């Protein structure tokens, strides 16, 4: 968000946004696999794992899911509603190659 506010919609901010989206997708798939493994482990009768350990795993998975949801919501807020939430004076206006005054001409 700070990069986007500071430099506008540049190559670096687009690249970082794409990287964050990829990491969020990977986190989603990993969390789903982890939940699936936990369900399988709970279903086994002779797993030898105590009830407390199952509860601790379930609690950890819930915390991970909560953190994932918070990060995803924060990313969506910063990437989606940035232009509507920021004041025009606080962020530089998007410009072509930084030449804001080129269209005015004569003011050299």
Using only the alpha carbons of the chain, give its radius of gyration.
23
Instruction: Extract the tokens encoding 4.
Output: 């986007």
Do the beta carbons of residue 5 and residue 91 sit within 8 Å?
A: yes
Give residue-wise pLDDT tens across range 29-74.
Answer: 999 999 898 888 777 766 566 778 888 888 999 999 999 899 888 8
What local confidence, expressed as pLDDT, does residue 95 receive?
52
Asked if residue 27 belongs to a domain, the reply is yes
Asked if residue 92 belongs to a domain, the reply is no
Asked if residue 68 belongs to a domain, the reply is yes
Domain count, the chain: 1
Contacts of 6 (CB under 8 A, 6+ apart): 91, 92
First-last CA distance in the chain: 33
**104: confidence class by pLDDT, cuts 50, 70, 90:** low
Asked if residue 82 belongs to a domain, the reply is no
State percent of the chain over pLDDT 70: 60
What pTM, to 2 d.p., does this model score?
0.55
Q: Which domain holds residue 8?
A: 2-73
What local confidence, expressed as pLDDT, does residue 57 receive?
86
Q: Which of 66, 82, 88 is nearest to 2 (CA)?
A: 82
Asked if residue 78 belongs to a domain, the reply is no
Give residue-wise pLDDT tens across range 74-103.
Answer: 888 877 644 434 444 455 555 555 555 555
What local confidence, expressed as pLDDT, does residue 22 receive?
92
Do the beta carbons of residue 67 and residue 12 sit within 8 Å?
A: no
What local confidence, expressed as pLDDT, does residue 108 receive?
46
Asked if residue 97 belongs to a domain, the reply is no
Do the beta carbons of residue 91 and residue 8 sit within 8 Å?
A: yes
Distance CA 101, CA 103 (A): 6
């Amino acid at each position: 968000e700070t990069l986007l506010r500071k430099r506008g919609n540049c190559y670096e901010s687009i690249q970082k946004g794409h990287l964050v989206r990829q990491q969020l997708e990977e986190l989603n798939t990993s969390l789903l696999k982890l939940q699936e493994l936990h369900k399988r482990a709970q279903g086994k009768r002779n797993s030898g794992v105590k009830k407390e350990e199952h509860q601790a795993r379930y609690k950890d998975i819930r915390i991970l899911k909560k953190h994932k949801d918070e990060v995803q919501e924060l990313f969506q807020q910063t990437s989606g509603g940035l232009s509507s939430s920021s004041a025009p004076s606080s962020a530089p206006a998007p410009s072509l190659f930084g030449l804001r005054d080129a269209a005015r001409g004569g003011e050299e």
